[in-house]
A and B are shown apart, each in its own frame.
Chain A
Amino acid sequence: MFNFITNSEHKSMEYIDYYKILGISKSATSKEIKSAYRKLARKYHPDVNPNDKTAEQKFKEVNEANEVLSDPEKRKKYDQYGEQYGKDWQHGEEFEKARKAQGQRRSSRQYAGGFEGQDFGGGDFSDFFESMFGGGGFSGGGRQVKFRGQDFNAELRLQLRDAYTTQKQTLTVNGKNIRITIPAGIENGQTIKIAGHGGPGRNGGPKGDLYITFSIENNTDFKRDGNNLYKNIDLDLYTAILGGELTINTFDGMAKLKVKPETQNGSTVKLKGKGFPVYKKEGKFGDLFITYNVKTPTKLSAQEKELFKQLASLKK
């Protein structure tokens, strides 16, 4: 079973400097906040940065910063309690009341720890953002528009041998198990879409999709180009000259190969249909190309040398 974590957990109690994220001063006006947000949102928006996880994370940070700083009430609370209570700043007022009621002198760190049970659930940036958008989303422009959820991207490593046959795999994506079928013949770098396994939709919109990109490792002595396979094999001089039969290993098992007399070094033969399966075309295969590497004999005996001399003299 493969385990994907598409979103990293962030559970630190550290202070998140929203002003720094937006690149503005603490005295910034609402106009300056909006302008900074727009600029950064355009830069990091997932739609203009496909398959860029860093941009995706930045976009979430920028959105969270904007959600807080563009709302005067939230901004006031954040300014008041942010540095003291870290990511739990939104509960700062409650912490203060509890502290006064209990009449105890505790450190802020202890209070923050005491309220950890009120977290909103696992999130990407801070839990506050998750509580507002149900995880993984981004903010709208004020209109209540229904949107599909965010698409998730993940990478799955496969061995070339595994890609030769259709595979059924169970993947764990953000804690949920999903069964997928990987058709034989999938390419290195190819992406498949698993519909409806992305982030939740906004305002009642459908879920996003999960995109899995395959990274195929090749530990075999075959080389692959699309549906065709390539392999070099050593051929002794005598078989190259006189012809013969070889047994070679293919992905499909052992195969017999007839070597023509006077086969040249570096020449290639094609074994039709012995290559890689064609993606989503059952029963169709590419070809296998065998390149001969003719090996000249070494450590010749006196008799062998004599015979080669005779051969050489015949050619003169």
Chain B
Amino acid sequence: MDLTDFITVTDFCKSHRISQALIIEFKDYGLVEIIERKDALYIPIAELPKAEKILRLHSELDINLEGIEVITQLLNRLEEMQNEMTRLQNRLGLYE
């Protein structure tokens, strides 16, 4: 595993001044992917925007993890539907 594509959970927590337990909780709720390697926990770089978004929802809006889980699912569905709508709009051009 190339560790340049990962950030340690310790660094992430230090940078955001949060406890490691919170990130583990995010993981337990299936909100963020965490990988264990060489006795340390890592977050893939690609997961960072998602992890930070969850953190913002949690700290700025006081939303609990159950709420974030629901919001995340709905946002994913919204994104899928928006993509589908764009795809269909593009196809509609064929019949105009």
State the A residues within 8 Å of B (CB): 38, 41-42, 45, 47-48, 50-51, 138-141, 143-148, 187-190, 205, 218, 223-226, 230
Interface of A is mostly: loop
**A to B contact number (C-beta, < 8 Å):** 67
| CB-defined contacts of A140 to chain B, threshold 8 Å | 59-60
8 A Cβ contacts from B27-72 to A: 49, 52-53, 55-57, 59-63, 71
A-B contact pairs, 27 of them (CB 8 A): A41-B61, A45-B56, A45-B60, A47-B56, A47-B57, A48-B75, A50-B75, A50-B78, A138-B60, A140-B60, A143-B17, A143-B59, A145-B17, A145-B55, A146-B16, A146-B17, A147-B56, A148-B52, A187-B86, A188-B86, A188-B89, A188-B90, A189-B90, A223-B93, A223-B94, A224-B93, A226-B90
A138 to B18 Cα, complex, angstroms:
19
Chain A: which residue is nearest B18 at the CB level? A145
Chain A: which residue is nearest B83 at the CB level? A189
A142 to B53 Cα, complex, angstroms:
17
Closest 7 CB pairs of A and B: A189-B86, A223-B94, A141-B59, A47-B53, A42-B61, A141-B60, A188-B90
- The distance from the CB of B68 to the nearest CB of chain A, in whole angstroms, is 10
Partner of B90, one of A41, A42, A144, A187: A187
CB within 8 Å for A48 and B57 given contacts A146-B15, A146-B16, A147-B52: yes
| CB-defined contacts of B79 to chain A, threshold 8 Å | 50
User: Is there an interface contact between A225 and B91, defined as CB atoms closer than 8 Å?
Assistant: yes
A283 to B83 Cα, complex, angstroms:
26
Chain A: which residue is nearest B93 at the CB level? A223
User: Is there an interface contact between A145 and B16, defined as CB atoms closer than 8 Å?
Assistant: yes
Chain B: interface residue total (CB-CB under 8 A): 28
| CB-defined contacts of B16 to chain A, threshold 8 Å | 145-147
**Residue with the greatest number of chain B CB neighbours at <10 A, chosen from A51, A145, A205:** A145
User: Is there an interface contact between A145 and B59, defined as CB atoms closer than 8 Å?
Assistant: yes
- The distance from the CB of A49 to the nearest CB of chain B, in whole angstroms, is 10
| CB-defined contacts of B90 to chain A, threshold 8 Å | 187-189, 224-226
Q: A47-B57, A146-B15, A225-B91 are in contact. List 5 more A-B contacts (CB 8 A).
A: A45-B61, A48-B57, A138-B60, A148-B52, A189-B83
| CB-defined contacts of A48 to chain B, threshold 8 Å | 57, 71, 75
B73-95, CB under 8 A of A: which get 1 and which 0?
A: 00100110011001101110110
User: Is there an interface contact between A230 and B56, defined as CB atoms closer than 8 Å?
Assistant: no
A196 to B21 Cα, complex, angstroms:
29
| CB-defined contacts of A138 to chain B, threshold 8 Å | 60
Partner of A225, one of B49, B63, B78, B94: B94
A42 to B62 Cα, complex, angstroms:
9
Chain A: which residue is nearest B79 at the CB level? A50
A139 to B60 Cα, complex, angstroms:
8
A223 to B62 Cα, complex, angstroms:
48
- The distance from the CB of A206 to the nearest CB of chain B, in whole angstroms, is 10
User: Is there an interface contact between B57 and A45, defined as CB atoms closer than 8 Å?
Assistant: yes
- The distance from the CB of A137 to the nearest CB of chain B, in whole angstroms, is 11
A187 to B83 Cα, complex, angstroms:
11
CB within 8 Å for A189 and B89 given contacts A42-B63, A138-B60, A230-B94: yes
A190 to B62 Cα, complex, angstroms:
33
A316 to B17 Cα, complex, angstroms:
91
User: Is there an interface contact between B17 and A144, defined as CB atoms closer than 8 Å?
Assistant: yes
